[in-house]
């Protein structure tokens, strides 16, 4: 008798960026700065308040998000990082193994994992020649079995962004009967005025749900808190399948304080944008293929040399994130760490 689902043997494992003491870690898109002082104070106060279960409904955080975003609280679902919300989306949309989830590839590596966990069928559509979502091909891949589409903008790991015009055409082509998730985990780093902002589209498209996180620009990766904004019935369904108490009291307190201190925290995103452009242009000058990025990382297209490049960087005490056989993703960090990486890249034998 088999007690465990046989298909789990083939489930791809999520591979975190390596952390090696004494080396420069540029593998996990982490912000090198700690939470701001007001956020740290709020977390400490919450920790000192006693041993109680978290607010199951994340009431205070939901209300603060509603105020910050200018939407009704009924349209918001809070989760244990946006990865958990991705899994919840599969759970609420798919109920048969033949139900399909479409996403670009290469894109966020959690998408195939949460799709298989949800016992649905993954349908991947290759990125175009510019490392961008091929939204026309994704729309053409929709079938009567399609239940959910994941669009990651800026795309992880290539950093490329979907434009508003492209997204509007895509939503029109897909129609209203398929749930479309716009994963904007890196939204705060976007500087391109033509890039899509999902919040500007949700009123016109009830099948669109926008995902964002506090892990990146808000510096709360360790606390695991993200959120979805969409139609009230979608948010309600997401809350129903959320693991109880999965967003800790510390995470909720830290996220509320981060929203209160948003002007200060998000000011640092401009510095990251300046550094990412500097790093990209330095790599281009060295002869690497690096697409324009709207995130806090750069993508270096290397094909079969991916593993060699990652090993070379490791030899030079820099940890990057290889996605063999496509390329490496490199987090934009403090200037001196970026310089260390660029120097290592400059000595790679191409």
With a cut of 70, say whether residue 1 has pLDDT above it: no
Domain ranges in the chain? 7-34+263-346, 37-262
CB-based contacts of 237, cutoff 8 Å, min separation 6: 92
Residue bearing tokens 């809070």: 78
Task: Give the CATH fold of the 37-262 domain.
Answer: 3.40.640
| Banded pLDDT at 22 (limits 50, 70, 90) | confident
Q: Which residue in 62, 116, 53 sits closest to 235, CA to CA? A: 62
Torsion of CA 37, 40, 45, 50, to 10 degrees: -170
Average pLDDT over residues 256-265: 97
CA 62: distance to chain centroid?
20
Which tens digits make up the pLDDT trace of 55-74?
Answer: 999 999 999 999 999 999 99
Closest CA relative to residue 310, chosen from 158, 300, 275: 300
At residue 38, does pLDDT exceed 90? yes
- Read off the pLDDT band of 19 (50, 70, 90): low
Secondary structure class of 195 (helix, strand, coil): strand
pLDDT in tens, 194-250: 999 999 999 999 999 999 999 999 999 999 999 999 999 999 999 999 999 999 999
Cis amide bond preceding 139, omega within 30: no
DSSP secondary structure code for residue 185 in this structure: T
Sheet holding 76-79: strands in order across?
76-79, 226-229, 208-213, 179-183, 146-152, 100-105, 121-126
pLDDT score of 290 more than 80? yes
Share of the chain above pLDDT 70, in %: 98
Per residue in 151-194, pLDDT (tens digit) is 999 999 999 999 999 999 999 999 999 999 999 999 999 999 99
CATH class for the domain made up of 7-34+263-346: alpha beta
Where residue 326 falls among pLDDT bands split at 50, 70, 90? very high
Asked whether the domain spanning 37-262 has the same topology as the one spanning 7-34+263-346, the reply is: no
pLDDT score recorded for residue 13: 72
What would the pLDDT profile of 87-109 be if each residue is shown by its tens digit?
A: 999 999 999 999 999 999 999 99
Tokens of 304: 């079969």
């Amino acid at each position: 008798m088999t007690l465990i689902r046989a298909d789990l043997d083939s489930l791809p494992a999520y591979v975190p960026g390596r952390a090696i003491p004494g080396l420069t870690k540029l593998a996990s898109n982490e912000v090198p700065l700690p939470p701001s002082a007001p956020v740290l104070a709020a977390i400490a106060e919450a920790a000192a308040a006693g041993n109680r279960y978290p607010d199951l409904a994340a009431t205070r955080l939901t209300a603060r998000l509603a105020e910050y975003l200018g939407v009704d609280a009924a349209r918001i679902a809070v989760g244990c990082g946006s990865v958990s919300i991705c899994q919840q989306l599969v759970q609420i949309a798919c109920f048969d193994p033949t139900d399909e989830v479409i996403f670009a590839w290469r894109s966020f590596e959690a998408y195939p994992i949460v799709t298989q966990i949800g016992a649905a069928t993954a349908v991947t559509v290759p990125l175009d020649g510019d490392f961008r979502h091929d939204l026309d091909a994704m729309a053409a891949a929709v079938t009567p079995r399609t239940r959910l589409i994941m669009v990651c903008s800026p795309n992880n790991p290539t950093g490329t962004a979907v434009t508003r015009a492209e997204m509007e055409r895509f939503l029109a082509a897909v129609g209203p009967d398929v749930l479309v998730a716009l994963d904007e985990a890196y939204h705060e780093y976007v500087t391109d005025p033509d890039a899509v902002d999902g919040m500007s589209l949700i009123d016109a498209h009830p099948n669109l749900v926008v995902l964002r996180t506090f892990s990146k620009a808000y510096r709360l990766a360790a606390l695991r808190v993200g959120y979805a904004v969409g139609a009230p019935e979608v948010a309600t369904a997401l809350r129903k399948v959320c693991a109880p108490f999965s967003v800790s009291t510390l995470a909720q307190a830290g996220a509320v304080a981060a929203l209160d201190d948003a002007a200060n925290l998000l000011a640092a995103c401009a510095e990251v944008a300046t550094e990412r452009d500097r790093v990209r242009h330095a790599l281009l000058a060295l002869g690497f293929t690096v697409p324009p990025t709207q995130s806090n990382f750069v993508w270096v297209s290397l094909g079969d040399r991916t593993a060699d490049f990652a090993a070379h960087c490791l030899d030079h005490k820099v940890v990057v994130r290889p996605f063999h056989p496509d390329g490496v993703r490199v987090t934009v960090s403090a200037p001196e760490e970026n310089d260390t990486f660029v120097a290592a890249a400059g000595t790679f034998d191409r």
